[in-house]
Amino acid sequence: MSEEKKAAIKKIQAAGHMRKIMADYFYEMDRAAKEGSPKIAWCTSVGPAELLLSLGFLVYYPENHGAMLGSTRQAMDYIPVANSVGYSPDICSYLTSDIGAFIKGETPLSRAYEGIEGVPKPDVLVYNTNQCRDVQDWLSWYSRELKVPALGITTYRNISRITDDSLLSIEKQIKGLIPTLEEISGNTFDIDKFRHILGLSCDCTQLWKKVLETNMAKPAPISFFDETIHMGPAVVLRGTETAVEYYKVLLKELEGRVTNKDGAVEDEKFRIYWEGMPIWGKLRSLAEFFIELKTAVIASTYCNSWIFDSFDPKDPFMSMARAYTEIFIVRDENFKEKYIEDMVRKYDINGILFHDAKTCPANSNNRYGMPQRLEKNLKVPTLTINGDLNDLRCYSEEQAKTNIEAFIEQLESK
């Protein structure tokens, strides 16, 4: 591919704004870690962040750090370090790269932000097993290592219908965290503050949803690869005004692109659904490759995972229990299949690409016959590529690109 073609990734103007708010977020966290105040909670990506914020914690997300390790390709230096202390190369490579980096005392934050020497030390670790068991094992490692309490919510997984019993149990577990969190933070729980923060998360999630839905337009204004980057504030800053303001800016820009028919891919010919984790170390290379193929990857389960439709400040505990339980990753095959079918229709998708991520079975939905069933029901072709979120030893670029090219030829012949 020529350099000229590589430059064809269109810049999102809001990216500068995003970099600024992400830098502010990490510097604030770093300051708090150095000064010992406010307290810092580490939280899994779909853990009870709003509760933590309402109690005055700054919230840090190890999975976001895992994604940074992947996108900077530093993960490859650290995974073997975690393997050497008994954490298998077959388990979550966010976990292994993050723990490996911690053991080596290194972080991409130091390269990105001058003056930050390490990840902010936690005062408490909080997980929800809604996404997988690895998050519990991950934070438990830090709990043993740093002698910091790990608290958690256990969510039933692989479920079809969400029952009242299950929601009541989760609501009770969320409330059960409060006394310990009050003690660690030194603050008293305030229901009005909790409602306010949940309201901000609700606004953030609704704006993020609108951002993603701009891709219903033809041509689609933003690629999946850019969305994975612009999802950052929805992950780490939900529950703040900052995130709400950011998505207003991004949405306006994308709506402008829709009006001007300014697509992320020039002369968009095909529209692809990405099912599974991003391959963080290959985002740019894949984005350029799809542009060359005049194919827009425009919708994904991954980016939709930060839409929490059920947040309701009027009923904060129960709505939070529901929002964090009804997400795709918690559900059974039938639910997931129907969900993807709806997405394919909504975004007028021509083909579905499954990423089988070696170390993340929870996000590899090709393993129980779903591609075949979707092909039959939707008459839309599917392709599975093998890879991983962070461990690039599991990914053959040459093979993946050959398969993608053949897949696009198949779409052309249709």
Tell which one of 96, 107, 129, 131 touches ligand SF4 (CB under 6 A). 131
β-strand partners of 191 = none
Shortest Cβ 333–ligand SF4 spacing (Å):
17
Tell which one of 97, 363, 365, 382 touches ligand SF4 (CB under 6 A). 363
Q: Which of residues 156-175 bind ligand SF4 (CB under 6 A)?
A: none
**Which 3 state secondary structure label does DSSP give 362?**
helix
> CB under 6 A: which stretch of 53-61, 129-137, 188-196, 247-255 binds ligand SF4?
129-137
Residue with structure tokens 């999630």?
Answer: 205
Shortest Cβ 296–ligand SF4 spacing (Å):
25
Q: 305 near 343, Cβ under 8 Å?
A: no
- The closest of 288, 406, 294 to 2, measured between CA atoms, is 288
Q: Which of residues 20-39 bind ligand SF4 (CB under 6 A)?
A: none
Q: 401 near 393, Cβ under 8 Å?
A: no
Shortest Cβ 264–ligand SF4 spacing (Å):
25
Q: Does 74 bind ligand SF4 (CB under 6 A)?
A: no
- The closest of 186, 381, 198, 409 to 294, measured between CA atoms, is 409
Tell which one of 42, 78, 87, 94 touches ligand SF4 (CB under 6 A). 94
Q: Does 134 bind ligand SF4 (CB under 6 A)?
A: yes
Tell which one of 174, 389, 400, 404 touches ligand SF4 (CB under 6 A). 389
b/e sequence 23-38, b meaning 16+ C-beta within 10 Å: eebbeebbebbeeeeb
Residue 401: HSE in the Cβ half-sphere, 13 Å Cα cutoff = 15
Count of positions on this chain that bind ligand SF4 (CB under 6 A): 11
Shortest Cβ 290–ligand SF4 spacing (Å):
23
Shortest Cβ 199–ligand SF4 spacing (Å):
27
Q: Does 139 bind ligand SF4 (CB under 6 A)?
A: no
Nearer to ligand SF4, 55 or 389 (CB): 389
Q: In Å, how far from its chain's centre is CA 377?
A: 28
Q: Does 280 bind ligand SF4 (CB under 6 A)?
A: no
**142 phi/psi in degrees, rounded to 5:** -65, -35
> CB under 6 A: which stretch of 9-17, 131-139, 242-250, 304-312 binds ligand SF4?
131-139
Shortest Cβ 42–ligand SF4 spacing (Å):
13
Distance between CA atoms of residues 189 and 132, nearest Å: 28
Q: Does 362 bind ligand SF4 (CB under 6 A)?
A: yes
β-strand partners of 275 = 354
Q: Does 60 bind ligand SF4 (CB under 6 A)?
A: no
Residue 3: HSE in the Cβ half-sphere, 13 Å Cα cutoff = 0
Question: To which H or E segment does residue 352 belong?
Answer: strand 351-357
Distance between CA atoms of residues 248 and 208, nearest Å: 9
Distance between CA atoms of residues 98 and 199, nearest Å: 31
Compose the 313-352 pattern: x for residues touching ligand SF4 by CB under 6 A, - for all others: ----------------------------------------
Nearer to ligand SF4, 82 or 92 (CB): 92
Distance between CA atoms of residues 194 and 317, nearest Å: 9
Distance between CA atoms of residues 98 and 96, nearest Å: 5
Nearer to ligand SF4, 135 or 202 (CB): 135
Shortest Cβ 367–ligand SF4 spacing (Å):
13
Tokens of 38: 């406010």
Q: Does 356 bind ligand SF4 (CB under 6 A)?
A: no
> CB under 6 A: which stretch of 51-59, 72-80, 130-138, 268-276 binds ligand SF4?
130-138
Question: To which H or E segment does residue 166 belong?
Answer: helix 164-185
Residue with structure tokens 């079975």?
Answer: 361
- The closest of 336, 328, 227, 234 to 286, measured between CA atoms, is 227
Tell which one of 99, 198, 321, 360 touches ligand SF4 (CB under 6 A). 360
Tell which one of 92, 197, 202, 231 touches ligand SF4 (CB under 6 A). 92
Q: Footprint of ligand SF4 on this chain (CB under 6 A)? A: 63, 92, 94, 131-132, 134-135, 360, 362-363, 389
